[in-house]
Amino acid sequence: MPSIFSYQSAEVDWCEGNFEHSTVIAEYYNTVNGTTLFSLLLLTPLNFLVLEGAGRSFADTKLSLLLAGIFSMYFHMTLSYVGQLLDELSILWTLAVAYSFWYPRVYFPRCIKSRKHFFWLSGVTTVISTLMSFIKPAFNAYVLNCIAFHLLYLTWCELKKCNDKRVHRMAAAMVVWWVLAISSWISDRWLCGLWQAINFPYFHSFWHVLIAMSLLYCCPLVIYFDVNYEMPSFKPKLGYWPSDSWPVVVPYVALEEPHKQC
């Protein structure tokens, strides 16, 4: 019986052929583009600096994003059962951390009276989901992807209340990247025979880059809404570095000076 750490002991094997470019790395392009995912995920916490400047710390969110990137690379390198679980559980816990810290109070269920209570609710749900993850890891990835639909719904609710064109533009970019990402993920899962027939089984590696792009737009947006709710004396502003008109840009959120209270 193979060890849970051994190569190819995972329940899932992505469309890309194994060990075609290296004897150590099972899925070469998925791992390499996992590195891109990792690098882009490293860029997202730069947005948190503005909040740290305003006296809040987000070490947990940054750490969990970092771990998600590292475990994704380990999973594709080994295709081991442990790699698969680490990959999925790190995403689950990143989502749990993000929900605990960033979920706007106005959307709390009625029975939840404070962020501390919501924190406990997220914690208990995540621990139960973690235990259930061991039952059928291949199914977990579908459940994790469904959480994006809830994020889409929340974005929609927020956009209805917001007239700032920059916010609508950033949300549109986030959704476009996500649609491209999820299409790549699904097509790798469901149409692998077709991609192998045309010798192009690389859609999962595209997913890595595309979902990271979506998160790059998602982070400033989440912080924008959070500042509006939690720090009403500050005015958040969305922008693009180095400039709006460049073809390749890094989205960011900035805080304008607090309004003077007289």
Residue 144, interface with ligand L2Y2AEV6 (CB under 6 A)? yes
> Least CB distance from residue 252 to ligand L2Y2AEV6, whole Å?
12
Residue (147 or 180) nearer to ligand L2Y2AEV6, CB: 147
Residue 122, interface with ligand L2Y2AEV6 (CB under 6 A)? no
- Residue 216 interacts, among Ca ion, ligand L2Y2AEV6, none and using kind-specific CB cut-offs from 5 to 8 Å, with none
- Residue 95 interacts, among ligand L2Y2AEV6, Ca ion, none and using kind-specific CB cut-offs from 5 to 8 Å, with ligand L2Y2AEV6
Q: Which residues of 137-159 are buried (b: 16+ CB within 10 A; e: fewer)?
A: beebbeebbeebeebeebbeebb
Residue 152, interface with ligand L2Y2AEV6 (CB under 6 A)? yes
> Least CB distance from residue 13 to Ca ion, whole Å?
4
Interface contacts to Ca ion, rule CB under 5 A: 13-14, 16, 18
> Least CB distance from residue 143 to ligand L2Y2AEV6, whole Å?
9
Q: What would the two tokens of residue 105 be?
A: 């109070």
- Residue 91 interacts, among ligand L2Y2AEV6, Ca ion, none and using kind-specific CB cut-offs from 5 to 8 Å, with ligand L2Y2AEV6
Site residues for ligand L2Y2AEV6 per CB under 6 A: 61, 68, 72, 75, 87, 91, 94-95, 98, 102, 141, 144-145, 147-148, 151-152, 174-175, 178, 208, 211, 214-215, 218-219, 222-223
